[in-house]
Amino acid sequence: MDNTPESSLNRSLIERLATCEYITEHRNLFITGATGSGKTYMACAFGMEACKQRYKTKYVRLPDMLLELDLARTDGCYKKIQAKYANPVLLIIDEWLLLKPTEAEQHDILELLHRRRKKSSTIFCSQYHPSGWYDQLGGDDSPLAEAILDRIKHDAYKINIVPTDPSNYRSMREVYGMDPALSE
């Protein structure tokens, strides 16, 4: 991965994660940062390496997965769709908690994470720092918030992508010419 001078990353941690050892240890990875900071790019790079090492890997946006689970409930194929996301050795969940999940969605998340616990690894990409996830899950008003976090936070690796110079920050989309606003 290109370690651009605009962000500060722990190079030794990135190199260790690139070995996929975290997968054999059944540990999770939290990648957080602002929009366009490279979270998805980094997660997909780890996912590609997992594929090269023949680990079954799946990428999904949380909103898409929750919609699919909701539709599966009414179609009678809920267990099949749950298995689709529970079975990969590495699951990458992008846009983690971008929107606050409903109570039914929290149940889906809890069930999925419970099924994956201690036998697989999950990469969570979020704009929110892990300290804000409890509130995004409903905080004290949700009996499931703590249960969900309990299933993922222990022994998780954490990467928070922050610009070294916030006043001169440019998103990865802008750096690589992928920002549609710049092409107009």
Give the torsion through C-alpha atoms of 12, 13, 18, 24, to 10 deg: 130
Going through the chain in order, the beta strands assigned E by DSSP cover 29-33, 57-61, 90-94, 121-126, 157-161
Single pTM value for the model: 0.86
Q: Which range (52-56, 106-110, 160-164, 167-171) has the least confidence?
A: 167-171
Phi, psi at 112, each rounded to 5°: -60, -50
Q: Tell me whether strands 121-126 and 90-94 are parallel, antiparallel or unpaired.
A: parallel
Share of the chain above pLDDT 90, in %: 82
Give me the helix-helix angle, 103-116 and 78-86, nearest 10°.
50
User: What single-letter DSSP state applies at residue 85?
Assistant: H
**Partners of residue 123 on adjacent β-strands:** 29, 92
pLDDT digits (tens, 9 = 90+) for 136-153: 999 999 999 999 999 999
What pLDDT score does 9 carry?
A: 87
For residue 157, the model assigns a pLDDT of 97
Percent residues over pLDDT 70 in the chain: 84
In order of start, what are the domains of the chain with their CATH numbers?
Answer: 21-183 (3.40.50.300)
**Structure confidence at residue 163 (pLDDT):** 75
Residue 47: predicted pLDDT:
98
CA gap 55, 57 in Å, rounded = 6
